[in-house]
Structure 1
Amino acid sequence: MNIKRTLKILAVLLLLGFGVAGCSFGKTSPESRASMIQSVNPAPGATNDLEEKDLKLAAKVKKDIAELDEIFDVAVIAGKKDTLVAYKVKHMKRFGMKRIEKEINKKLEKNYPGENFIVSSDFKIFIETVELRERMKDPTYPDKKAEEELQRIISLKKEMT
């Protein structure tokens, strides 16, 4: 009887250990982990930091999108061809996701004709964008690698649709 009880306790402890081990965050940055529960307000960025107009565009887009009442947090990175706009919607406003995305696209097309925007409310895309922005803060992170990573995130977004 005592052996059965010991085996049950050991089995529960093993399962608990495996469960906790599976919850590790992997290679996420502290800021991207924080973005899961709060607004991190990442600074806008451009894959080519020397291109002042790209940085200004990203800052203006971030400001415009953040003004919308339904938006909780915005991350913007301007690339060579595309500008990625990832955003989080306030919890109680999530029922109108389609309307919000249409409103954002309309606003971007109206205010920035000729620019190519990739817009996403997907949480994974938001986290990937925040992580890329964190890596781009390092002055040794190459612009070419940043552009490649941006294109990978954009292709991930396109796969989801």
Structure 2
Amino acid sequence: MQNIYRAMAIAGILLLSGCNVGQQGKDSQLALVKTTNPKPIVTDGRRTPTWVEEIKREVSSYPELYDVAVVKGQEGTLVVYKVKHLHRFKMKQIEKDVTKFLEKKHPKEKFTVSSDYKIFLEAVRLDEKMKSPKFPKKKAEKRFKELVKMTEDTK
């Protein structure tokens, strides 16, 4: 009988440790659990413009939000964030406020704003991939467009 319990315990440990094998980077593993605070990303590989960093700071200053990722593509800017638990019932209003603020502050830029966890996670993964010199800029821009399309599909 004890052998059965040992076998079950070993199988459980192996099963749980096997779940982490296919994971990508450390940030993406913990992105939904804790604050990752990713740096703003520019998909064409140029230096991050100061106004993109400013967007991250300004959106991060909202008291309802606790983690913000900004991805600048050729055709626009994606802003994704995580909402504090007690403010989740106002998510639509927060999204409207953030969008209105960004469009007023930067009228020439096209913004896509989302609080979707999956899109946030994918933005963190894109950041991790872009750190590799082998990751082509065209792929980064393509992934950016896919993320924008994902936000449109979830609305």
- TM score, norm. by length of structure 1: 0.82
**Identical positions, percent:** 37
Structure 1 pair 144–58 and aligned structure 2 pair: CA distance change class (3 A): same
Q: How many residues align?
A: 155
Q: Match for residue 142 of structure 2?
A: 148
The structure number with the bigger radius of gyration is 1
Unaligned regions of 5+ residues in structure 2, if any? Answer: none
User: Which 4+ residue blocks in structure 1 deviate beyond 6 angstroms?
Assistant: none
Structure 1 residue 27, shift from structure 2 partner:
3.5
After TM superposition, list the pairs within 5 Å mapping 1:1-161 onto structure 2: 20=16, 23-24=19-20, 26-50=22-46, 52=47, 55-161=49-155
Q: Residue type of the partner of 1:29?
A: G
Q: After superposition, give the CA deviation of every residue in 1:32-61 in whole Å (9 maximum; x if it has no partner).
A: 1121221110000101122x4x63232111
2:23 and 2:29 in contact (8 A); partners too: no
With the length of structure 2 as denominator, give the TM-score of the two structures: 0.85
Q: Distance in 2 between matches of 1:56 and 1:80?
A: 16
1:47 and 1:147 in contact (8 A); partners too = yes
